[in-house]
Structure 1
């Protein structure tokens, strides 16, 4: 299956106070589509676990072109863009009424479950991972620099609802923490995210944010002052 596609209806818990699909929910849809695609193709987390390996999302970059609202149906598509050593690029697209409203590209690493060090993706899994480079998006992920100045810093303790099936803080939980801290009123046009380290249940994190008229930046640190997450977002000049 070169391109995985599924249709879903936007539910009450997917939207903001305006009935519009929340930004962080886009990443939930991406994560679910990636999981279902990989499990269907037998190169997902359950399959890698048998070889004591795990997939880890390293970076993701999102571009937003439009909105979707409560009750509407959207199509979520994903495909593998490339495979190289321990890394794999994966693209996503979300359509509403046949029109693309968001797209993203992401970088995933295959890690040892014991050491969390990068490990070449075993050949038996590579053979099951169909590459579709022709459909590649014209966006790339970026390494984000450390936040040198910030206007706000919040403390956040990781809750049971933040923890995923791999027993660490879910990727989307970090994005939600930051967007909640920023309280954005602007229309998001682009978001770049770096996942740097893991955190776990009851860990106390520092969520630092900085915002200007054109963009916002954020960084999450653990109690050792090590950066575990970075985000940069830019705003649309006009309504999307």
Structure 2
């Protein structure tokens, strides 16, 4: 299966150059979506500069459209503040996933979502893959892949409902994919370090509160007051690739609210 990775960026050249190094090492097809218009390539990487800052959701949507217009089977939106495990691309879309897979993400070391939280917290390059995947209603947007069929049936990230912050747009996309009959999975065959939400930390301290408020409002409007119970279930199943046998379960603790 072919996949194009889109990396929406706004400044932070050093971070982007590091992830470009990883993507090049993994021989992945990728495109930088340069929202600020000042990206300086380190090699011959493809760069697309939109006429205005599209934000994360808009930049991701642009990358998805480019991928499927060029005939790729899958497209991924990837943050620039990450580092990738070796064998990343094969690990994201491993053999043995259920045939209904529509949205897939690697596990990572950020506690933002239990669905893709790994118990490994070391350097991505030293990660040992496990032939296990997770059955979940949602995955994080830090590294989120969608199939061409799912994108065709479900549509893009909802920029209108989730506004300029776009927090929660990934949750909505996953739930829409699930409603359309597609599986949403996390794969332990691939891993990323998420480098401390550096993008958020560099912004105004009120940013997180405003983004959370915007996300909550949009999710309530779309899914009702109980949207959290659907997006963040208390138990996540881990299954063996190929056999789909349940290996064990992950239980959400009170501090893992998503």
TM over 0.5: no
TM bracket (short chain): under 0.3
**TM-score normalised by L of structure 2:** 0.26
**Greater fraction of residues in helix:** 2
The answer to which structure has the higher strand fraction is: 1
Higher RCO (C-alpha 8 Å, min separation 6): 2
